[in-house]
DNA sequence: CATGAATGAGGTTTCATTCAT
DNA sequence: TATGAATGAAACCTCATTCAT
């Protein structure tokens, strides 16, 4: 009996956690669709098939949904790293970057709602969570930057500011989520991956743009 | 009396419109800072220095603030066109594109709050307004696209999909608003303009990326 | 089997009662600290180390805690009587009263939380319980009154209203609980016992206060 | 017009404050009857004849009712002082004390609900408010103490601890509120005033109680 | 006996909106 | 035009209580 009881208690505990995860995910879907502020606890409860009161058996406040969700989201990317690092010696830098982009875009495609959500609701996030999100983004930028820097050393790439270039490329990846209403109409994911790779190659190969004196002169009407 | 009354009514009407514009602008600032849903009519009234009740003399509902604001926003860009079109014959396409980017980024810098707002609150917009915003964005994309296409024809540029390239470049411009917490730390506007120009040049000059058979082969483990 | 079962059931019953008593005591501590209304069944369950649901195996409703606690409290004083009665013939009345006060204050010190509780939460008590509490208080007053009356007969005391005098003295004893934040700062229990004895002696020795005509005259401005 | 408008606005402001005061008083009555925690905002709103929402036009939270009420209460006693001080030279100390008690008890009678309330709900008060209440109580104690000390100097009184004596007398005054269910049955206010005066005179005239060795000796069974 | 999970009534609070003045 | 006051629906949240296991 003891033998049976113990695993059962463990299972119970797991059950509550499981349920919590499930509830947070359900809430997240509503957040995606309607936004955090516009989603009511009643809606969440209904979507979960439980009473409003029961919700508070799992969480302490509506904010918790947000925080727990961000936690889940960030922990998804936690320790995220590319397998490409290990392949670096064996392939060209261009190739590495392209693979990285393909990988990145597929991930972004998988979590596009989440990304849109982070752009939209970042204002509501606690400073701690915001920090974490930013750190993770910069970490991902770093992966690309490493590749670009390597390529610059061998002369394969010629960009002067690898970090910014990496960030710009990431921006083009996020575009898949931010402008999906447009991109989905014209491209499949695989098609966009190729387009993105092309753009990225262009960016990292960029050489210094020769300053033409004339066109900077009349630019006096600078706005604040 | 008639003579006096008429101008007076006109003046009144104008005055009301003036005041409305002013109120909407004040509301917009609060929307920028706190988000639409998180901004209360009380806050708006206080910021405007009038009573909550008086607010409803100018508008019919809180939603009106949003709509009026989007109207104002879009009308800002309404008829927006570049002086560069007229200069096209006289300068290189690269030069034209660079000027266009400089111009665009300066505008984006001026209305960065507005842009952030549109990204964040687009969900709340009515289909009509959303349409209008999208059309305007595509119009701006079109300006760039025209330049790129012209450059492609002369062989100065080599991109196969000018529309997407233009959109990607616009995305990098929007980045100035979307990632301002990062970019402002490292670059001034003028510096970022140059960086953006470089990236854009890279993007439009991009040639076809030769497909390497090897790297596409192992990519079987596609994620949903 | 019958022989065995019966004692066993009795034992069970006893166990349950024991546990109930324990639980009520634990609840009482929380009531003392936070007040009845501010104490939740969850807190009680946690403090008892059992589940909220299990609580309802022992009681029928939260009110039960209150009632059971008042029952326990009042039964504490049930049959309370002083050993002093038996000593009466052998000692002076003053001495008897002083002993009674010492005894009473030590008891009050021991149950000061309970007394505070009764003053604070009497509103919630059922009429029956309130009656019981009042009866017990009056019983205690009676103990003192008996002594005072005896002293009055011998001329040792000179108070005209022994019952009120007794009640006033009890009030000064309760003061040890009601004003503990003040008294504890300045006096130990034993010190306060002496102070209380002195005051009590003063009260019971009091003779008629000669009415001075002058001071009652200007007191016209009586408030409602 | 200006002349008329200004007073009107002042009146309006006053009106809101007036109404607030009125509402707080109404709430206080409910607090007296049912206790703070047991009184709902719905009850308050109904008692005030307004909607629940409107309540929050006047206050920020339910707690405010409590705090505002305590503020009003304490400000009632603020600067409270006896006219007896000025009469001190002309009357006997006994007379002064009696007058002080009469005055005090009439005041207590007028605010008996308030006093009961403070005893019951002090737990809920913020430290600041509690401090204020305590300070005011000690101030009142001080008034009596001054009289007692003066009487001690002339030998009219013989109590060794005037402050405690004063506090004990105040306690007997509070008794009019705390034990009203009993006292009201047997005494009118004026009757109780006399009883209280007698007791007070007894307390302050008290001489040292001669320690009888015998009765302290067996007191070994001290309870914690 | 005991638990974890669930419930639902009811509490406090917010806020867009209305209305008499 | 403008205001202060009022409204009521609906939001979030609490908690005593119940129930299947």
| Boundary (domain end) residue, out of D24, D42, D62 | D62
Which residue has tokens 């400073």? A127
Residue A136's pLDDT is what? 92
Domain-embedded: residue A222: no
Task: Say yes or no: B55 and B124 in one domain.
Answer: no
Q: Which residues of A touch B109 (CB under 8 A)?
A: 223
The yes-or-no verdict on residue A82 having pLDDT over 60 is yes
Let me know if chains D and C touch, i.e. at least 3 Cβ pairs under 8 angstroms.
Answer: yes
**Chain E nucleotides near the protein (CB, 7 A):** 1-20
Which residue has tokens 């006060």? C101
Integer Cα distance of B45 and A16 in angstroms: 46
pLDDT per residue as tens digits for the range C127-181: 988 998 999 999 999 999 999 999 999 999 999 999 999 999 999 999 999 999 9
Q: For nucleotide F9, give the residue with the nearest CA to its C1'.
A: D53
Proximity of residue A67 CB to strand F below 7 A: no
Between residues C10 and B35, the one the model is more confident about: B35
Integer Cα distance of C19 and C30 in angstroms: 17
Residue C210's pLDDT is what? 47
DSSP per residue, D77-146:
HTT---THHHHGGGS-HHHHHHHHHHHHHHHHHHTHHHHHHHHHHGGGS-HHHHHHHHHHHHHHHHHHHH
The yes-or-no verdict on residue B215 having pLDDT over 60 is no
Between residues D140 and D73, the one the model is more confident about: D140
Q: How confident is the model at residue C198 (pLDDT cuts 50, 70, 90)?
A: very high
Q: What mean pLDDT comes out for the span D48-52?
A: 96
Residue A32's pLDDT is what? 93
**Chain F nucleotides near the protein (CB, 7 A):** 1-20
Q: How confident is the model at residue D66 (pLDDT cuts 50, 70, 90)?
A: very high
Integer Cα distance of A28 and A68 in angstroms: 10
Task: Say yes or no: C141 and C182 in one domain.
Answer: yes
Proximity of residue A61 CB to strand F below 7 A: yes
**Which of C34, C32, C103 shows the shortest CA–CA distance to C69?**
C32
Integer Cα distance of D43 and D51 in angstroms: 10
Domain-embedded: residue C221: no
Integer Cα distance of C107 and C177 in angstroms: 11
Domain-embedded: residue D212: no
pLDDT per residue as tens digits for the range C59-104: 999 999 999 988 888 887 776 776 666 666 678 899 999 999 999 9
Integer Cα distance of B211 and A198 in angstroms: 11
Instruction: Please tell me what DSSP assigns to residue D187.
Output: -
- CA distance readout (Å), D176 to C168, D101, D105: 10, 12, 8
Give the distance, in angstroms, between the CA of residue A18 and the centroid of all CA atoms in the same chain. 24
pLDDT per residue as tens digits for the range D182-211: 999 999 999 999 999 999 999 998 665 444
pLDDT per residue as tens digits for the range C1-14: 444 444 444 455 67
Task: Say yes or no: B98 and B185 in one domain.
Answer: yes
Q: Which residue in C has a C-alpha nearest to residue D39's C-alpha?
A: C37
The yes-or-no verdict on residue B88 having pLDDT over 70 is no
pLDDT per residue as tens digits for the range A143-165: 999 999 999 999 999 999 999 99
Q: For nucleotide E14, give the residue with the nearest CA to its C1'.
A: D53
Task: Say yes or no: B10 and B74 in one domain.
Answer: no
Q: What mean pLDDT comes out for the span B152-159?
A: 93
Instruction: Please tell me what DSSP assigns to residue B88.
Output: G
Q: What mean pLDDT comes out for the span D85-101?
A: 83
Give the distance, in angstroms, between the CA of residue C15 and the centroid of all CA atoms in the same chain. 29
Integer Cα distance of C75 and C129 in angstroms: 11
pLDDT per residue as tens digits for the range D128-173: 999 999 999 999 999 999 999 999 999 999 999 999 999 999 999 9
pTM: 0.84
Residue B76's pLDDT is what? 77
Evaluated on CA atoms D96, D97, D98, D100, the torsion sign reads: positive
| Boundary (domain end) residue, out of C62, C80, C105 | C62
Query: With an 8 Å Cβ cutoff, are A102 and B219 in contact?
Result: yes
pLDDT per residue as tens digits for the range A204-218: 986 654 444 343 334
What is the extent of the structural domain holding A18? 1-62
Between residues B208 and D132, the one the model is more confident about: D132
Evaluated on CA atoms A192, A193, A194, A195, the torsion sign reads: positive
Proximity of residue A124 CB to strand F below 7 A: no
Domain-embedded: residue A37: yes
**Which of D69, D76, D74, D72 shows the shortest CA–CA distance to D36?**
D69
List CB contacts of C187: < 8 A, sequence separation 6 or more.
Answer: C195, D164
Integer Cα distance of B166 and B139 in angstroms: 11
Q: Is C39 left (phi over 0), alpha (psi -120 to 50) or beta?
A: beta
What chains are in contact with A, requiring at least 3 Cβ pairs below 8 Å? B
The yes-or-no verdict on residue B87 having pLDDT over 80 is no
What is the helix (H) or strand (E) element at residue A27, kind and residue range? helix A2-34
Phi, psi of A121 (to 5 degrees): -105, 15
Task: Say yes or no: C124 and C92 in one domain.
Answer: yes
Q: What mean pLDDT comes out for the span B157-178?
A: 97
Between residues D2 and B202, the one the model is more confident about: B202
List the CATH number of the domain containing D108.
1.10.357.10
- Judged by C1' against the alpha carbon of C64, the nearest nucleotide is F16
Domain-embedded: residue B182: yes
List CB contacts of C171: < 8 A, sequence separation 6 or more.
Answer: D171, D172, D175, D178, D179
Residue C211's pLDDT is what? 45
**Which of A204, A200, A201 shows the shortest CA–CA distance to A159?**
A204
Domain-embedded: residue A134: yes
Residue of A120, A168, A195 lying closest to B175 (CB–CB):
A168
Which residue has tokens 């049959």? C79
* C1’ E9 / CA C150, Å: 59
Q: Are D139 and D85 in contact (CB under 8 A)?
A: no
Residue A27's pLDDT is what? 96
Chain D residues 21-40, Cβ below 7 A from strand F: none
Q: Which residues of A touch B168 (CB under 8 A)?
A: 172, 175, 199
Task: Say yes or no: A166 and A75 in one domain.
Answer: yes
Task: Say yes or no: C86 and C180 in one domain.
Answer: yes
Proximity of residue C52 CB to strand F below 7 A: yes
Q: How confident is the model at residue D9 (pLDDT cuts 50, 70, 90)?
A: very low
Residue C219's pLDDT is what? 39
Task: Say yes or no: B56 and B86 in one domain.
Answer: no
List the CATH number of the domain containing B46.
1.10.10.60
Domain-embedded: residue C213: no
Q: Which residues of B touch A38 (CB under 8 A)?
A: 37, 124
Q: Which residue in B has a C-alpha nearest to residue A218's C-alpha?
A: B99
Proximity of residue A52 CB to strand E below 7 A: yes
Integer Cα distance of B15 and A213 in angstroms: 47
Task: Say yes or no: C47 and C77 in one domain.
Answer: no
Q: How confident is the model at residue D223 (pLDDT cuts 50, 70, 90)?
A: very low
**Quick one: what percent of chain D has pLDDT higher than 70?**
82
How many separate domains does chain C show?
2
Let me know if chains C and B touch, i.e. at least 3 Cβ pairs under 8 angstroms.
Answer: no
**Which of B45, B48, B44 shows the shortest CA–CA distance to B31?**
B44
Task: Say yes or no: A22 and A68 in one domain.
Answer: no
List CB contacts of C120: < 8 A, sequence separation 6 or more.
Answer: C35, D119, D120, D123
Domain-embedded: residue A4: yes
Residue B56's pLDDT is what? 96
Q: What mean pLDDT comes out for the span D6-19?
A: 64
Integer Cα distance of A194 and A185 in angstroms: 16
DSSP per residue, B197-216:
HHHHHHHHH--PPPPPHHHH
pLDDT per residue as tens digits for the range A92-149: 999 999 999 999 999 999 999 999 999 999 999 999 999 999 999 999 999 999 999 9
Helix (H, G, I), strand (E, B) or coil at C208: coil
The yes-or-no verdict on residue D120 having pLDDT over 50 is yes
Terminal CA-CA length for chain D: 76
Residue D211's pLDDT is what? 45
Residue B137's pLDDT is what? 94
Q: Are A125 and A134 in contact (CB under 8 A)?
A: no
- Judged by C1' against the alpha carbon of C51, the nearest nucleotide is E3
Residue A218's pLDDT is what? 41
Task: Say yes or no: A26 and A52 in one domain.
Answer: yes
Proximity of residue A37 CB to strand E below 7 A: no
The yes-or-no verdict on residue C17 having pLDDT over 90 is no
Mark out the alpha helices in C35-158 (DSSP H runs). 41-48, 52-58, 62-77, 84-87, 93-110, 112-121, 127-154
Q: Are A179 and B171 in contact (CB under 8 A)?
A: yes
Instruction: Please tell me what DSSP assigns to residue D186.
Output: H
Query: With an 8 Å Cβ cutoff, are D201 and C206 in contact?
Result: yes
Q: Which residue in A has a C-alpha nearest to residue B38's C-alpha?
A: A37
Task: Say yes or no: B38 and B93 in one domain.
Answer: no
Query: With an 8 Å Cβ cutoff, are A206 and B208 in contact?
Result: no
**Quick one: what percent of chain B has pLDDT higher than 70?**
82
Residue C85's pLDDT is what? 67
Query: With an 8 Å Cβ cutoff, are B123 and A35 in contact?
Result: yes
């Amino acid at each position: 009996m003891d033998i049976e009881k113990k695993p059962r208690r463990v299972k119970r505990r797991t059950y509550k956690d499981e349920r919590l995860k499930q509830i947070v995910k359900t809430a997240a879907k509503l957040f995606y669709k309607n936004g955090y502020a516009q989603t009511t606890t009643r809606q969440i409860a209904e979507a979960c098939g439980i009473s409003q009161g029961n919700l508070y058996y799992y969480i302490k406040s509506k904010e918790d949904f947000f925080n727990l969700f961000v936690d889940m989201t960030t922990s998804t990317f936690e320790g995220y790293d590319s397998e490409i690092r290990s392949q670096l010696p064996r392939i060209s830098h261009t190739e590495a970057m392209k693979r990285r982009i393909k990988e990145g875009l597929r991930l972004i495609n998988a979590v596009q709602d989440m990304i849109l959500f982070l752009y939209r609701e970042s204002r509501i996030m606690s400073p701690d969570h915001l920090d974490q999100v930013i750190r993770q983004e910069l970490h991902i930028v770093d992966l690309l930057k490493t590749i670009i820097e390597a390529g610059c050393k061998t002369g394969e790439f010629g960009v002067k500011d690898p970090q910014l270039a990496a960030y710009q490329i990431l921006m083009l990846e996020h575009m898949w989520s931010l402008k999906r209403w447009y991109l989905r109409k014209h491209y499949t994911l695989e098609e966009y991956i190729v387009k993105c790779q092309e753009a990225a190659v262009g960016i990292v190969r960029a050489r210094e743009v020769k300053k033409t004196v004339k066109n900077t002169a009349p630019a006096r009407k600078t706005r604040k």
